[in-house]
Structure 1
Amino acid sequence: MRWPYALPFAGLLLSIALGPLLFARIWHHHYGKIAAAWSLLALAALVVFAGVATTLAALVHAVLTEYLGFILLLFSLYVVSGGILITGDIKASPVTNLGILALGTLGASIVGTTGAAMILIRPLIRANRARRHNVHVFVFFIILVANVGGALTPLGDPPLFVGFLHGVDFFWTTRTIWLQTAIVAMLLLAMFVAIDVWHFRAEPPPVDVGSAEPVRIRGLVNLVLIAAIVASLLLSAMWKSGIALDILGTKLALEDIARNLALLAIAALSLWLTADEHRQANGFTWEPIREVAKLFAGIFVAIIPVIAMLNAGDRGAFAWLLSAVTAPDGTPREVAYFWFTGLMSAFLDNAPTYLLFFELAGGDPQVLMHQLAGTLASISMGAVYMGALTYIGNAPNFMVSSIASENGIAMPSFFGYFLRAGAVLIPLFVLLTLLPVSPILHWH
């Protein structure tokens, strides 16, 4: 397959980027149809190239092994976290915002980037809605809470969950890249404080509304349900049933089916056990997860030919990529893996991109966790950190942007966000790469 087969995927990405900017009304009413049209075009090209049977098998594989587990985990975390209500008067200030961002960054690897973002985004909106300059708060929130903070466990970020499903130990990233994540997070928090203090000083003084209502957390049963989500992931990894359904060549293991059903059951329990007024007070709607489900369904389908070309290695259209991440003696170039995984994650979504480079590096979890630990760490950090560069780099990015826009925050366009996030992150990653004792270059 040659590069023109990637055009439907490129068209979908451009639609996501330009649709809200150039034809916002049409996009918001028909984004699902637009994503479906690009997906069907990609499938039609595959039918011409490889036939109906091969195309159908590839579609089933993408849906059952990649998309289904991905969206069900996001769905369950979105529903459960939406039942946790934080009430009380939270006054906007650099200290308050720093506390929320730091809490979300710490919690993202425990309750997932989706969970942490959904729990904290609404209190952050309430605190900052009246501010004249507030967009930077939500840009940093996406970077830290919806991305960087999830770098330490498979629950934290979808690409690490993909690695976990392919045999990487649950706590491997915790042990391996905790220092790098701490450095990146602290530098980002320091940058945020400097920017927020500068903007806050230009704001009019806040209006005194009298005695403040104390902060309370309601819907605590959902914290138990988040623990149940973690347990279902761990149990599905430890249980090897040896039983699998074969659907057009795709093996769907019994433990994966059980995990997916458990995630749906946990979401249903959250809806049943949580008082309706908690979700109403949160401004909970189904639109953010619906948007993510539709757009990422299109992404996972349209990316099939791109993944196929990449998997062809030195025989495919992207042979240059394999040579770029591999030294002449056959050893992997760790810095190249970090940058290529990261930059492609920003535009191809970080979950399938992680899997692509995981396979490109050999695909053996035991080798990657030990002899090639630096390579796997590079892939992990690139996918997680640089997923923050665009709205489509990581699924929670879209959710946060959608919720903030619904609540009156003037979120930047696709390119506007990319420019802001890039201005913050790219120099930071360059600095980390070039430092004499760089946490990217020295893993052991």
Structure 2
Amino acid sequence: MTYWRWLAAAACCMAPAWAGAAELDGGALSLLWGVPFAGILLSIALMPLLAPVFWHHHFGKVAAAWALAFLLPFALVFGPGVAGVNLVHALLAEYVPFVILLAALFTVAGGIYIRGNLHGSPALNTGILAFGAVLASFMGTTGASMLLIRPLIRANDHRKHIAHVVVFFIFIVSNAGGSLTPLGDPPLFLGFLKGVDFFWTLQHVFPETLFLVGVLLALFYALDSWFFRQRDELRRIDPTPDTDGFGFDGKVNFVLLGVVVALVLLSGFWKPGIAFDVAGTEVGLPGLVRDVGLILVTLASLALTPKAVHAANQFNWAPMQEVAKLFAGIFLTIIPVIAMLKAGTQGPFGAIIHAVTRPDGSPDPAMYFWATGVLSSFLDNAPTYLVFFNTAGGDAATLMVQMAPTLAAISAGAVFMGANTYIGNAPNLMVKAIAEDRGVKMPSFFGYMLWSGAILVPLFIVMTLIFFR
């Protein structure tokens, strides 16, 4: 029996006591409950370096082991009812919708093949990154990443240095570009569901996005130009032969992509007032319709996409499986961490909450930017956004007007700083997995953080001085 079956069996044992269980009080928790979460993060960071073969074959078991290391002691201490309620909430309210949306975007984008052998040059690569930044806010960072990462790697497979292209792709397309609409990144979608206007971030975070994306594109062009001028940069034989012309195969997936966007929008605008209680978790009809619709879109894409398109894209489920398994462990072990954050000043992380408030009691946008961003670098950025959204008052009408700088800081921190680590945003890990599957030698977990620390952190400091004082 696999570890994930043990996890399912443990959940089933808790089922009888779920009804009426008390909500978890994060203020009563010890920091020790965060050890499994820290453990899974360290496993993701260190095991690919220390035991790469073991990790490649057993990362799912490692993630499940850390999940059980949290869930079983938690059930013993607080009772199966509290553990079961929190487990169901993490799965139904967060993880399952998260994975279904990712799977739909991954499948649809993987069914579109951009035909033609583009030859990666600094100008072309910069243009693709800029185009991806625009797409990210309208088809999501996951959709834009899955659509463009394969042709970008193929365009550069005649070059010696490709890793830096993928790193900047993660910075720009998988993160920063998704900051302008609720479709771009899950934190903004949660804000939309809480009442933030659809175009609010476009109006209030556009200057910050333009600055960050513009500077990153300029830095990338300079770095890529330097690599491109190296004498041994270009291979004598291009692994990808030239074809007759540029075009798209699997065009039906563009229609399906439109359906994905429509379903996400529908779940935000449609308010029928119908919801179902599942072990203490409210599952609304709009979300249910969205998730079922996304599953049908995924199946339709698999059925309608010609096999030749998937073969040309080298489409396989390995990247999606890696993200699904690792984030299952993350979403479970993060339960006590989020609860401790929600406890506010009375919880173990009270110092963080105090830090975002000025002595006169007013919010400090700079500290909201950094607190939201740093936590979003290692925690899931969607619940982190909600924590600080609620810390700032939780009323969308007030936050959009009187406290607009604070809401802008929370939004920017959650989206932009998801690029600081591979686990800050789901597309980061998916892009890394696809690149490695294509033979690109990507930086390790800490190696990637050297890139983000050297490039992104100084830019965030400058942005703080310009936009969030």
The within-5 A match list for 1:286-325 is 286-325=317-356
Distance 1:86 1:198 in 2: 27
**TM-fit CA distance, 1:272:** 1.7
Task: Check whether the contact 2:138–2:184 (CA below 8 A) recurs between aligned residues.
Answer: yes
Q: Which residue of 1 aligns with 2:120?
A: 92
**TM-fit CA distance, 1:72:** 1.2
The within-5 A match list for 1:245-284 is 245-284=276-315
What one-letter code is carried by the residue in structure 1 that aligns with 2:437?
Answer: E
Distance 2:357 2:403 in 1: 13
Q: Which runs of 4+ in 1 moved over 3 A?
A: 203-213
Aligned equivalent of 2:57, options 7, 16, 29 = 29
Distance 1:29 1:230 in 2: 35
Q: State yes or no: 1:222 paired with 2:253.
A: yes
Distance 2:342 2:150 in 1: 41
Q: State yes or no: 1:76 paired with 2:104.
A: yes
CA deviation map 1:388-427 (0-9, x unaligned): 0110000000010000001100001100011112211011
**TM-fit CA distance, 1:109:** 0.7
**Pair 130,314 (structure 1): closer, same or farther in 2 beyond 3 Å:** same
Q: Which residue of 1 aligns with 2:186?
A: 158
Distance 1:356 1:17 in 2: 25
What one-letter code is carried by the residue in structure 2 that aligns with 1:298?
Answer: G
Aligned equivalent of 2:221, options 166, 169, 193 = 193
Distance 2:258 2:190 in 1: 19
Point out the more displaced range, 41-50 or 304-313: 41-50
Normalised by the length of structure 1, the TM-score is 0.95
**Pair 208,414 (structure 1): closer, same or farther in 2 beyond 3 Å:** closer
| Unaligned segments of structure 1, at least 5 residues | none
CA deviation map 1:273-320 (0-9, x unaligned): 211111110011101111111111111110000111111112111110
Distance 2:253 2:430 in 1: 19
Q: Which residue of 2 aligns with 1:424?
A: 455
Normalised by the length of structure 2, the TM-score is 0.91
Aligned equivalent of 2:273, options 226, 232, 242 = 242
CA deviation map 1:305-355 (0-9, x unaligned): 011111111211111011001123321110001011111111112222212
Task: Check whether the contact 2:90–2:332 (CA below 8 A) recurs between aligned residues.
Answer: yes
Task: Check whether the contact 1:132–1:203 (CA below 8 A) recurs between aligned residues.
Answer: no
**Pair 12,192 (structure 1): closer, same or farther in 2 beyond 3 Å:** same
Q: State yes or no: 1:132 paired with 2:163.
A: no
Task: Check whether the contact 1:153–1:171 (CA below 8 A) recurs between aligned residues.
Answer: yes
Aligned equivalent of 1:348, options 354, 363, 379 = 379
**Pair 208,361 (structure 1): closer, same or farther in 2 beyond 3 Å:** same
**Pair 211,30 (structure 1): closer, same or farther in 2 beyond 3 Å:** closer
Distance 1:273 1:161 in 2: 29
Distance 1:161 1:293 in 2: 20
Task: Check whether the contact 1:2–1:316 (CA below 8 A) recurs between aligned residues.
Answer: no
Task: Check whether the contact 1:113–1:150 (CA below 8 A) recurs between aligned residues.
Answer: yes
Q: Which residue of 1 aligns with 2:468?
A: 440
Task: Check whether the contact 2:363–2:406 (CA below 8 A) recurs between aligned residues.
Answer: yes
Q: Matched residue of 1:412: which SS?
A: coil
Q: Which residue of 2 aligns with 1:15?
A: 43
| Unaligned segments of structure 2, at least 5 residues | 1-28
What one-letter code is carried by the residue in structure 1 that aligns with 2:49?
Answer: L
**TM-fit CA distance, 1:169:** 2.2
Task: Check whether the contact 2:108–2:298 (CA below 8 A) recurs between aligned residues.
Answer: yes
CA-atom RMSD in angstroms: 1.5
**Pair 128,56 (structure 1): closer, same or farther in 2 beyond 3 Å:** same
CA deviation map 1:29-64 (0-9, x unaligned): 111111111111111232233211011111111111
**TM-fit CA distance, 1:99:** 1.3
Distance 2:90 2:392 in 1: 21
Task: Check whether the contact 1:106–1:149 (CA below 8 A) recurs between aligned residues.
Answer: yes
Q: State yes or no: 1:376 paired with 2:407.
A: yes
**TM-fit CA distance, 1:206:** 5.6
Task: Check whether the contact 1:180–1:440 (CA below 8 A) recurs between aligned residues.
Answer: no
Distance 1:355 1:49 in 2: 27
Aligned equivalent of 1:110, options 138, 161, 179 = 138
Of all paired residues, the percent bearing the same amino acid is: 53
**TM-fit CA distance, 1:384:** 0.7
Q: Which residue of 2 aligns with 1:46?
A: 74
Distance 2:34 2:369 in 1: 23
Task: Check whether the contact 2:160–2:235 (CA below 8 A) recurs between aligned residues.
Answer: no
**TM-fit CA distance, 1:207:** 4.1
Aligned equivalent of 1:336, options 363, 367, 386 = 367
Task: Check whether the contact 1:337–1:375 (CA below 8 A) recurs between aligned residues.
Answer: yes
